[in-house]
Structure 1
Amino acid sequence: MFTVMIIDDNEQLQNEIGSVLTINGYSVLKPKAFDKIPEIVKENNPNLILLDINLPKDDGFKICTEIRSFSKIPIIFITSRNTNIDELMAITLGGDDFITKPYNTQILLARINALIKRAYPNDTNLDVIEYNGLKLNILTSMIEHNGNSEELTKNELKILYYLLINKEKIVSRAEIMEYLWDSSMFVNDNTLTVNITRIRNKIEEIGLKDFIRTKRGQGYMI
């Protein structure tokens, strides 16, 4: 799983972007100690950084320069400052992209995905998730285990993917339906039950039992 660090003093924006990234399979870091950002970057070694310009201590330009002194981590500036000079400064100092607020969330996500793929071309983490013997290939909608495979429908893929990125946590039925709704897929309570049953059957067909557990009155857990 790739990790994105969101360096922004707007906590609401941090949380909004963080939620979108988590839903789409990223791990998220949201530092609060803005006077120690380079040290935090060194300690956590994220795969990509979203960096605001206006920050409580050093501005984003100085932070970018300091990070570039020791790392080539992709950096996307996200800022309300939208002059040509600001964009030129951001790119000249080592930024990889520049997005002004307010922005379209899906466009931001697309740019993050594209930059991650360019920066880590030999890493398949974006396309394949593995856990407890099960391999989910997002590009082919296939699950695999010990040479056995089954194909998932679009809804089954989305549901299993969401459970996997929230592995070892209880996920409520409401959360799953909200996630599918955000993905432009309408799933009611009865349809969700049917899809979960089909996913379980397909996972059993490839040789894994009790992969998805029901937590009575709470939801599901992998």
Structure 2
Amino acid sequence: MFKIFIVEDDGKLVSLLEDFLTKYEYETYSVKNFDTVLPQFEQIEPHLVLLDVNLPKYDGYYWCRQIRKISTCPILFVSARDAKMDQVMALENGADDYITKPFDYEIVLAKIKSLLRRAYGSYATNQNGWNVNVNGLILDVERLELRLGQQKIELSHTEARILEELMKKADRVVSRDRLLEKIWDEQAFVDDNTLNVYITRVRKKLAQCHINDALQTVRGKGYQLKANWSIES
């Protein structure tokens, strides 16, 4: 049974979410003390986190960063803040997706199912147990790790899936639709801006390996990872 950790300070909403998710055989836990979100996360070891932005003391962005230091489990923001920048900030701080309140519970369920499938189920990146190598850059799909020489960069599940697709088709254009299809099951529920944010994150991970300008945007078509990149100091 999958465990879902709900970090939300609206008690009524927490109760409704727990009742709804329990019907679908999810094991739910809600935060008890907003000063100790991370220790509670470590104790529960959830498979997925539902996280609000506006929380007592520290906001959801802060706790998302803290969780990302120790875990790559899916994080789904559920917030009344609907500005594009709020969603961008959530994704840039390590979230996998973002839903604005008020929301349809069926959409929340669809997103949860999709994220769990991608992280642990039949579409999980780490099920393949193999590496992708492009010009010495190695994507370890089992360890969610990007390696170049002695350099090792940790990846989220979504970052790994994007890089896997781009590296397998190095020097070829991968369409935006193909990346969305590869990453999310429920394309109708995905904000197109989400992919832009993840592409930026992938570029930053490549930059940590001193690889710049290898991932190029092909206007009107998609993205292309150049295989003849050179390391920049």
Q: Counterpart of 1:91 in structure 2: which amino acid?
A: L
Q: Counterpart of 1:108 in structure 2: which amino acid?
A: V
| 8 A contact 1:74–1:95 mirrored in 2 | yes
1:95 aligns with 2:107: no
Q: Distance in 2 between matches of 1:59 and 1:28?
A: 21
Q: Counterpart of 1:45 in structure 2: which amino acid?
A: E
Identity score, percent: 39
Moved over 3 A (4+): none
Unaligned runs of 5+ in 2: 124-233
What is the aligned-residue RMSD (CA, Å)?
A: 1.5
Q: Counterpart of 2:121 in structure 1: which amino acid?
A: P
Q: How does 1:106-145 map to 2 (within 5 A)?
A: 106-121=106-121
Q: CA deviation at 1:122?
A: 5.2
Q: Distance in 2 between matches of 1:32 and 1:121?
A: 29
Q: Distance in 2 between matches of 1:40 and 1:52?
A: 16
The TM-score, its normalising length taken from structure 1, stands at 0.54
The TM-score, its normalising length taken from structure 2, stands at 0.52
Residue 55 of structure 2 corresponds to 55
Q: Distance in 2 between matches of 1:43 and 1:74?
A: 17
Q: Distance in 1 between matches of 2:57 and 2:45?
A: 21
Q: What SS is found at the alignment partner of 1:40?
A: helix
Q: What SS is found at the alignment partner of 1:14?
A: helix
CA-to-aligned-CA distance 1:124-161 (integer Å, 9 cap, x gap): xxxxxxxxxxxxxxxxxxxxxxxxxxxxxxxxxxxxxx
Q: Counterpart of 1:86 in structure 2: which amino acid?
A: D
Q: Distance in 2 between matches of 1:97 and 1:50?
A: 10
Unaligned runs of 5+ in 1: 124-222
- Tell me the matched-pair count: 124
Point out the structure with max Rg over C-alpha: 1
Residue 105 of structure 1 corresponds to 105
| 8 A contact 1:4–1:27 mirrored in 2 | yes
CA-to-aligned-CA distance 1:58-111 (integer Å, 9 cap, x gap): 100000001001111100000000111100000011000000000000011011
Residue 80 of structure 2 corresponds to 80
| 8 A contact 1:9–1:32 mirrored in 2 | no
| 8 A contact 1:75–1:97 mirrored in 2 | yes
Q: Distance in 2 between matches of 1:74 and 1:115?
A: 6
